[in-house]
Structure 1
Amino acid sequence: MAKGLSIFLVVIMYCAASIGEDTGKTGFLHWTIAFAMPFRMPEFFLISGLFLSQVIDRSWRDYADRRAVHYIYFYALWASIHIILKIALAQHDLSDALTSLALATVEPYGVWWFIYMLAFFSLSSKLLHELKAPHWATLTCAAALQISSVHTGSYLIDQFAAYFVYFYAGYVFAPLLFQLASWTQTHRAAAAGILLIWALVNATLVFTPGFRLDPVHIQMGWAALPGLHLLAAFAGAIAIIIAASLLVGLPGTGWLRQLGAQSLVVYVAFVIPMGIARTLLLGIGLDEPNLLSLVVLAVALTSPLVLWWITEKVGIGVFLFERPGWAHLSGAAKRSRGPSSGPITAK
């Protein structure tokens, strides 16, 4: 359920930014994603680290196959598809496409940067585990990097500094977070009250002096301040876990659970249908940002699932969503079949 909320927020962000860029207007998606700015990506990484303890003691070969090669395969595949379609074919620029493909090996490309960083975070965590680095020391250094707002010009380094603390915190504090989820299910009224208080505080931190909303960029208020941003991010990540725990079992929420179960499918494939839908709708004159946002968001969320269903039924193109045998490290235990073993897999 939490994975469903996470991927939903990610798709909303990209829809809002792309629609704003094309129309020069803002809509309700912009305000939605502005509220989620402090925690949208931090909670995605934190949830990704929750089950790391289940595999981190395995051999380097098995661990790397499950926690690095798995992500690298889908990153390389879908980044290549996008570069070929957008640059080599649409722009007829083979030279630029080859340059982009080469650069994408060392610098995370496009929306798929998250998968790239997951592989890097997983390997870094394994190395720290093998070196027996104290959790408190690692978390302190990672928090210091986040607070320092590192800007080296290298996207890889900058994103590592900005987000590793959340991934590692998910790994270290997983037992406490699972206890929180259990407590929420038995104290629903109290949990709902905590969630309401958090929402008011988060809104205050975002929409304070300094907040600026334009069609493409969002500037937070006090929530952007170093240190305070870190606290707001962790608070938002905890709020997502509480919200997901409250949603479990409620009628009409099964679709969100399914969305989370197929997070890999949606994450890797939503960009292309989102762009096609936006271009076609703008071409017929639909530029009202709210209606356009709703339609594009629906297409972006459902098209990848439809494509995945077709590949499963006809048996063609399965490699788009399921890592084939040749993409496993030799001698590594094969992971379970299916798209649920995606970028924020539970195991």
Structure 2
Amino acid sequence: MPPEVTPVSSGTPSSRSGHRGRIGRVGWVDAAKGLCILLVVAGHANITLNNNGYDTGIWEKMSLMLGPFRMPLFFLLTGLFAARALSERWRSFADRRVWIMVWLFVLWVPIREIWLSMVPLTSVGNSDGIPAPQGLDPENWGPMAERIGLSVLGPESYLWFVYALALFAVVSKLTRRVPPVIQLLAAMALSVLSPLAEFDWPWNDILRTYFFYLLGMYGAPWIHRLAQRRSLWIIAGSVSVYAVVALWIDATHDHFNFGLNGPVRLFLALVGIIAVVSAFSYMESWRITVPFSKVGARTLPVFLMHIMVLATVAFLLDLVLPADPGLPLQPLILAGIAAVLCLGLHKVLMACGFSWLFRRPQWMRRRYLDSERRRQEP
């Protein structure tokens, strides 16, 4: 998350944690967030490799089977620290929770479109030469501008998560006086029934995940209690249940997603969340979780840039590889490379004065907040 909206823990972190990103962070939360974003990058790495003619082996199916809990877990972890902000004045709340996301969404939609248009469409082993990037063809500029305009008005790509964070903040603030049980039941019904409405996939994902944002917000005490139990029995049980149901779906349907109706997806998401929360809280002081925590404390640049970085790396691989090497871990290797490059690029951009790519400029925030102070002065 961007620095100006980074949550401060309201939970009770374990004293066993030896690698918190900074004071106030909870180690297992960062590690679980890191797993979420790495699974997202790995899923998109599968798609990128397939599009460029590489074999992804079993990892495509694995990505589908792990999909039901990826983004629900991310939004639940985001919601864990969101309840405190609901008591803020609207202007302060909007400054930290809404306008930052609006800024990022409006900024990165055209960046994404332009960047991807400048990456030539190639495939591994292609000996026909490098085609010109589509972005250099004036005939594509009009359709590209139209896509940018439509995408800014509503989520049309993986940037839906930025749009969702702003939307969830506004809706949860507006409904803060509604009893949490009613909010959760309504959001759960929306999560289960939204696929029947046949919205575009970004809106389906938004409607499915709001329940988990609220669950993190209002269920935080129980979630922290689950984490503090550090039970191997809960880990083993939840992992086993998830694996059995996922394997059954895969065995009885032509495509894994065909078996993910609303209730089944919700069930798998909840079981997967229990498994990950329990596992990462149990392993909180283990060295193996350090890479996950480091990524989890800096998810924003990875979320924003990983698709473009994946496309760029795949293009470069197409140039140097005469054929698909067929490595068994190709999607995971590409995902790891992309995540490291995103974090490195973020560090370089921040050092070069481009912090406005990842957070709202301070002059804009000052003008916004100063106008509120002047309005309140007698």
- Normalising by the smaller structure, the TM-score range is 0.7 to 0.9
- Are 1:134 and 2:173 counterparts? no
Q: 1:328 to 1:173 in 2, by over 3 A?
A: same
Partner residue in 1 for 2:247: 204
Partner residue in 1 for 2:288: 252
CA distance in 2, matches of 1:225, 1:146: 10
Q: Choose which of 225, 228, 235 in structure 1 pairs with 2:261.
A: 225
Q: 1:37 to 1:211 in 2, by over 3 A?
A: farther
Letter matched to residue 164 of structure 2: M
Letter matched to residue 240 of structure 2: I
Could you tell me whether the CA contact under 8 Å between 2:234 and 2:275 is conserved in 1? Answer: no
CA distance in 1, matches of 2:185, 2:246: 27
Could you tell me whether the CA contact under 8 Å between 2:109 and 2:152 is conserved in 1? Answer: no
5+ residue gaps, structure 2: 1-30, 119-132, 371-378
* Local SS of the residue matching 2:72: helix
Partner residue in 1 for 2:9: none
CA distance in 2, matches of 1:156, 1:298: 25
Could you tell me whether the CA contact under 8 Å between 1:75 and 1:115 is conserved in 2? Answer: yes
Partner residue in 1 for 2:17: none
Letter matched to residue 146 of structure 1: S
Q: 1:46 to 1:181 in 2, by over 3 A?
A: same
- Are 1:112 and 2:159 counterparts? yes
- Are 1:273 and 2:309 counterparts? yes
Write out per-residue CA displacement over residues 166-215 of structure 1, whole angstroms, 9 at most, x where no aligned residue: 2111112111101111111xx4x334433443443343344330152xxx
Partner residue in 2 for 1:193: 236
Q: Choose which of 51, 70, 87 in structure 2 pairs with 1:21.
A: 51
Partner residue in 2 for 1:293: 331
Partner residue in 2 for 1:97: 144
- Are 1:263 and 2:307 counterparts? no
TM-score (norm 2): 0.77
- Are 1:242 and 2:288 counterparts? no
Could you tell me whether the CA contact under 8 Å between 1:9 and 1:40 is conserved in 2? Answer: yes
* Local SS of the residue matching 2:285: coil
Q: 1:43 to 1:211 in 2, by over 3 A?
A: farther
Could you tell me whether the CA contact under 8 Å between 2:242 and 2:271 is conserved in 1? Answer: no
Write out per-residue CA displacement over residues 285-343 of structure 1, whole angstroms, 9 at most, x where no aligned residue: 34226454244212211111111222344x3322223432134374549xxxxxxxxxx
Letter matched to residue 49 of structure 2: I
TM-score (norm 1): 0.84
Pick which of 49-58 and 92-101 moved more.
Answer: 92-101
Q: Choose which of 355, 360, 370 in structure 2 pairs with 1:318.
A: 355
5+ residue gaps, structure 1: 213-217, 334-347
How far off its partner does 1:75 sit? Answer: 1.9
Partner residue in 2 for 1:7: 37
How far off its partner does 1:79 sit? Answer: 1.6
1:302-313 alignment runs, 5 A limit: 302-313=340-351
CA distance in 1, matches of 2:317, 2:291: 26
Partner residue in 2 for 1:45: 75
Q: 1:157 to 1:82 in 2, by over 3 A?
A: closer
- Are 1:328 and 2:365 counterparts? yes
How far off its partner does 1:135 sit? Answer: 1.7
How far off its partner does 1:246 sit? Answer: 2.0
CA distance in 1, matches of 2:99, 2:159: 14
Letter matched to residue 197 of structure 2: H
Letter matched to residue 279 of structure 2: A
Structure with the greater alpha carbon radius of gyration:
2
Q: Choose which of 65, 85, 94 in structure 2 pairs with 1:55.
A: 85
Could you tell me whether the CA contact under 8 Å between 2:91 and 2:369 is conserved in 1? Answer: yes
CA distance in 1, matches of 2:265, 2:93: 32
- Percent identity between the two aligned chains: 25
How far off its partner does 1:162 sit? Answer: 2.1
- Are 1:76 and 2:106 counterparts? yes
CA distance in 2, matches of 1:237, 1:24: 31
RMSD: 2.4
Could you tell me whether the CA contact under 8 Å between 2:116 and 2:308 is conserved in 1? Answer: no
Letter matched to residue 338 of structure 2: A
Q: 1:135 to 1:33 in 2, by over 3 A?
A: same
How far off its partner does 1:159 sit? Answer: 3.5
CA distance in 1, matches of 2:237, 2:296: 24
Q: 1:173 to 1:72 in 2, by over 3 A?
A: same
Could you tell me whether the CA contact under 8 Å between 1:12 and 1:33 is conserved in 2? Answer: yes
CA distance in 1, matches of 2:219, 2:34: 21
Letter matched to residue 180 of structure 1: L
